[in-house]
Structure 1
């Protein structure tokens, strides 16, 4: 026997959702379970050897079974609504494994890019970026003008950025 799912949906979806809401299920979940009911029937319709074919009864029974499963699941895993602050308090702040791998790859590229720089450029960059010195302080330490020091640091940034764009 072939079931006309579209026609059955048009005729019975509202009634199924209404019966689920009467069973104490909120309207959004009832709508989801109604969709799941028709999906279940679409994926595995009743066997062709069944003696009595009552599509409406079959759909309502499938919906009832899904609601029982849903309620059972809710008892085992109750839903908890959290506001943003509460959610942030339990969220794991550590990066994902993919982020860790990606960041390590970027760090390796930066290390290689720094090794490729001329000594003065690398030294100016490291004093400024890692040593947290101002450009004026770096210039004094390297006995250079601030303009030349800034040019070296800018060249280092550009070189590192070029290497990272290849990632």
Structure 2
């Protein structure tokens, strides 16, 4: 590591340390108030600082606004993940007990669902919408084109992008 990059890294760590010591309590209290759960609030606060630590941000002019913005994104992902888990558990509730997956399979399905959800979030909004209309709603490409107001060739291009992302998930 060069002297300049070492200094930048040290500055980054100092900035994060100051941010953490000065604002962790406030962020935790804010998340606890929103969630009504101390354990989830602690996890999400930690995830927020982990995400910031992974970034290369060294100067933060408005720390609470910045923390709020980062935490909001993490909180949205958390809510989506919980909704996905609830939907899966609701579907399992309709499965006869003898057909229910083992705890290991249950865990693997949830992890796969989370991976797919994260992959879908990397897609452009129209690509994601086309993919979901096709795969979840069972619409034909012509119907998707009409619903999205795009050409059939554009829908095919969107689907190709989505399937390429799916293949990358498998690898």
> TM-score, length-normalised on structure 2?
0.40
Structure with bigger helix share is: 2
